[in-house]
């Protein structure tokens, strides 16, 4: 179970920039719907497109010159439209333009260089302290928490991973000595360059590259720890801290790989991840960028940011800039809005996560389908979110930061997202964990475990896998050349120590062991949606519904379909009652199987009341 006071949080995040003032009607819709928690963004910086995050005047005007009346005005304006609002307040620690120009450093894109600047950290810490002191004194009764934001897109992403600088070059020597490493020269890393062993760094001959990537991630982690620790000293004990961080599946080597140290040293209360980093396609399963089990075992909440582009979403940022394609590809009509938003909310309910609707640049929630969903959301959330015990997924994806340090480009780190995209297309839900989580996890319910980029192995890890993973009749899927670095040494024969002889250069091999099944795919492209579905069925994963996407806990079940019609649904146990919770409709009684009618497209979320015999 995740979280404490902020568990099952349902919120609304206001639009950025000038679009804030065109969307007061949507805030009033949230008020009427009973969604009282509102995220505000009193920012000093511009986004990646050069557009202001906030069109209010600057709060941070010079080194020690702050105008917090600007912050007060923004909160007061929200309250004039939603008098019952409580706040999550974003604290923008990126440099205002005047500071970036004066220091010749932009924290948005060169965060680790800023860390080492003799003025930047001190000035930014003082701004954080003064900002929090003002909020606590003036608005403490209204504020539930703070979101500490910095780096690219506010997500602590370092874009200069491979770019040395004078300060980092000097400090890297200190860091190497501190960690008992050789006095490496700063490596020249070109992520496009073919390395000695394709995409994997040779630990003996290219150790400087691995050390450099550790150093960059450590700088970011140290800064996150510093700002969280500073914030704790300036806020009430009950006020919470959130960060856009720990995105080791999508940000890769961009500053997040040392996140487990942050979570153990200065844990935030919640971590936020955007939906836009996972497939939006109607009929698919969507998913989260947060590593759910890594957070769960530390009792850290995961806040799922729903920033899906609806049919009426505004993508015209200015007279010259209109977004399109990629993550800006939207749903086509109000039917897709309704089915898609219900799917996103259903996933959060099932997985016992927090959730906010993000109205990025306005227009996101204007269609009748979106508005009707929002009108029901708060009541459903209050009644059913506390009932779920969390994900009952039978597929686990394992991410290994240690291995990702050994890969020489972000492309290689992120290529596994293709597999997750195909899992989504197959409708299959999956939990996520890191290698270090496996030791303490109960893995008994997982029928299929996929390893993302397990290139780094040693004898201790191998023993753990044999004891915890290679058992119980489950299928274990590896990609590429697992274990090619073993006990710190690269060798082409090393994967055989993990998967046995005959490593294929192409294709998929399946080998039955005495108590488990080993599956090796020579590359991620081979694990298509159809293949993953076949492997899941053969592994004994329970399929609730054919040609559908599903998420399930013991108590809640979300089914999402591209095509409507009468659909049969199979449960892994007998339910005394099955209720569709958004429609408050009794669907079945005393059933292991039931049928229901779906619109096109359609999503239903069910409460499953177990039979007394199954309790």
- The per-residue pLDDT for range 209-257, each reduced to its tens digit, is 999 999 999 999 999 999 999 999 999 999 999 999 998 876 456 789 9
Task: Tell me, letter by letter, the H, E, C secondary structure of 121-182.
Answer: HHHHHHHHHHHHHHHHHHHCCCEEEEEEEECECCECECCCCCCCCHHHHHHHHHHHHHCCCC
Task: Yes or no: say if 66 and 60 are a contact pair by the CB < 8 Å rule.
Answer: yes
Distance CA(356)–CA(10), nearest Å, equals 6
Give, as one character, the DSSP assignment of residue 547: T
Q: How many residues does the chain have?
A: 615
What H or E segment, with its residue span, contains residue 583?
none
| pLDDT tens profile 352-397 | 999 999 999 999 999 999 999 999 999 999 999 999 999 999 999 9
Q: What is the pLDDT of residue 1?
A: 32
CATH number of 10-161+214-387: 3.20.20.80
Q: What is the pLDDT of residue 6?
A: 45
User: CA torsion sign, 18 to 22 to 25 to 26?
Assistant: negative
Q: What is the pLDDT of residue 5?
A: 41
Q: How many CB atoms lie within 10 A of CB 166?
A: 9
Q: Look up the pTM and report it.
A: 0.94
Is residue 190 packed enough to be buried (19+ CB in 10 Å), middle (13-18) or exposed (0-12)? exposed
Q: What is the pLDDT of residue 250?
A: 60
Distance CA(98)–CA(228), nearest Å, equals 25
The domain spans of the chain are 10-161+214-387, 395-438+448-539, 549-614
Mean pLDDT of the chain: 92
Buried/exposed 244-273: b ≥16 CB within 10 Å, e otherwise: bbbbbbbbbbbbbbbbbebbeebbbbbbbb
Distance CA(86)–CA(9), nearest Å, equals 12
Is residue 324 packed enough to be buried (19+ CB in 10 Å), middle (13-18) or exposed (0-12)? exposed
Is residue 320 packed enough to be buried (19+ CB in 10 Å), middle (13-18) or exposed (0-12)? exposed
Task: Yes or no: say if 345 and 372 are a contact pair by the CB < 8 Å rule.
Answer: no
If one compares 26 and 411, the residue with the highest pLDDT of the two is: 26
| pLDDT tens profile 503-541 | 666 789 999 999 999 999 988 889 999 999 999 999 999
- Beta pairing class for 354-358 and 301-306: parallel
Over residues 421-450, mean pLDDT? 95
Cis preceding linkage at 532, omega within 30: no
- Beta pairing class for 489-490 and 485-486: antiparallel
- The reply to whether CATH 3.10.20.740 applies to domain 395-438+448-539 is no
Q: First vs last Cα of the chain: how many Å apart? A: 19
| pLDDT tens profile 136-146 | 999 999 999 99
Of 65-74, 87-96, 114-123, 406-415, minimum mean pLDDT range: 406-415
Instruction: List Cβ neighbours of 21 (8 Å cut-off, separation of 6 or more).
Output: 55
CA 171 to chain centre: 31
Q: How many CB atoms lie within 10 A of CB 442?
A: 7
User: For the domain with range 549-614, which CATH number is right: 2.60.40.1180, 3.40.50.10260, 3.90.1150.10, 3.20.20.140?
Assistant: 2.60.40.1180
Distance CA(54)–CA(137), nearest Å, equals 23
């Amino acid at each position: 179970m995740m979280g404490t006071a902020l568990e099952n949080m349902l919120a609304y995040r206001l639009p950025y920039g000038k679009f804030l003032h065109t969307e007061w009607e949507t805030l009033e819709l949230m008020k009427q719907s009973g969604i009282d928690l509102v995220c505000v963004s009193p920012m000093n910086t511009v986004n990646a497109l050069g557009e202001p995050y906030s069109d209010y005047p600057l709060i941070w005007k010079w080194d020690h010159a702050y105008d917090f009346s600007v912050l007060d005005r923004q909160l007061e304006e929200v309250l004039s439209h939603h008098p019952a609002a409580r706040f999550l307040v974003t604290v923008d620690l990126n440099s205002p333009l005047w500071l970036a120009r004066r220091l010749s450093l932009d924290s948005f894109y060169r965060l680790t260089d800023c860390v080492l600047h003799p003025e930047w950290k001190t000035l930014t810490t003082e701004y954080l302290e003064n900002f929090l002191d003002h909020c606590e004194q003036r608005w403490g009764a209204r504020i539930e928490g703070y979101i500490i934001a910095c780096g690219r897109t506010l997500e602590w992403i370092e874009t200069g991973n491979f770019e040395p600088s004078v300060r980092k070059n000097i400090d890297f020597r200190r860091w190497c000595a501190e960690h008992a490493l050789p006095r490496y020269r700063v490596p020249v890393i070109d992520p496009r360059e073919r390395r000695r062993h394709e995409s994997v760094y040779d630990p003996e001959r290219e150790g400087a590259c691995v050390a450099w990537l550790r150093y960059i991630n450590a700088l970011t982690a140290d800064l996150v720890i510093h700002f969280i620790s500073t914030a704790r000293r300036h806020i009430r004990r009950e006020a919470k801290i959130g960060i856009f961080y720990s995105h080791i599946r999508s940000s890769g080597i961009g500053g997040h790989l040392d996140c487990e140290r942050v979570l153990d040293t200065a844990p935030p209360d919640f971590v936020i991840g955007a939906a836009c980093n996972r497939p939006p396609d109607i009929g698919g399963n969507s998913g989260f960028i947060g590593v759910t089990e890594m957070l769960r075992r530390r009792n850290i909440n995961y806040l799922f940011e729903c920033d899906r582009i609806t049919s009426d979403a505004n993508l015209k940022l200015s007279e010259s800039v209109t977004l399109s394609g990629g993550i800006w590809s939207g749903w086509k009509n109000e039917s897709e809005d309704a089915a898609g938003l219900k799917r996103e909310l259903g996933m959060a309910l099932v997985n016992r996560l927090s959730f906010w609707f993000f109205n990025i640049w306005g227009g996101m929630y204007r269609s009748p389908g979106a508005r009707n969903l929002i009108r029901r959301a708060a009541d459903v959330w209050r009644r059913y979110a506390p009932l779920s015990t969390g994900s009952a997924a039978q597929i686990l994806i394992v991410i290994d930061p240690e291995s990702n340090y050994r890969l020489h480009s972000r492309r290689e780190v992120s290529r596994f997202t293709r597999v997750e995209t195909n899992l989504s297309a197959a409708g299959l839900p999956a939990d996520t964990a890191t290698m270090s989580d496996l030791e303490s996890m109960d893995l008994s319910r997982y029928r299929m475990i996929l390893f993302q980029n397990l290139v780094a192995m040693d004898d201790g890890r191998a023993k753990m896998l044999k004891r915890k993973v290679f058992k119980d009749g489950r299928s274990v899927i590896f990609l590429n050349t697992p274990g090619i670095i073993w006990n710190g040494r690269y060798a082409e024969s090393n994967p055989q120590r993990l998967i046995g002889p005959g490593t294929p250069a192409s294709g998929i091999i399946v080998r039955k062991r005495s108590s488990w099944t080993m599956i090796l795919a020579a590359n991620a492209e081979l694990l298509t949606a159809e293949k993953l579905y076949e492997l899941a069925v053969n592994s004994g994963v329970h399929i609730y519904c054919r040609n559908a996407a599903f998420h399930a806990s013991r108590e809640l079940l979300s089914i999402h379909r591209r095509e409507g019609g009468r659909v049969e649904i199979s449960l892994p146990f007998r339910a005394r009652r099955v209720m569709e919770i958004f429609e408050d409709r009794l669907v079945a009684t005393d059933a292991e199987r039931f049928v229901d009618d779906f619109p096109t497209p359609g999503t239903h979320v069910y409460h499953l009341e177990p039979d007394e015999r199954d309790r």
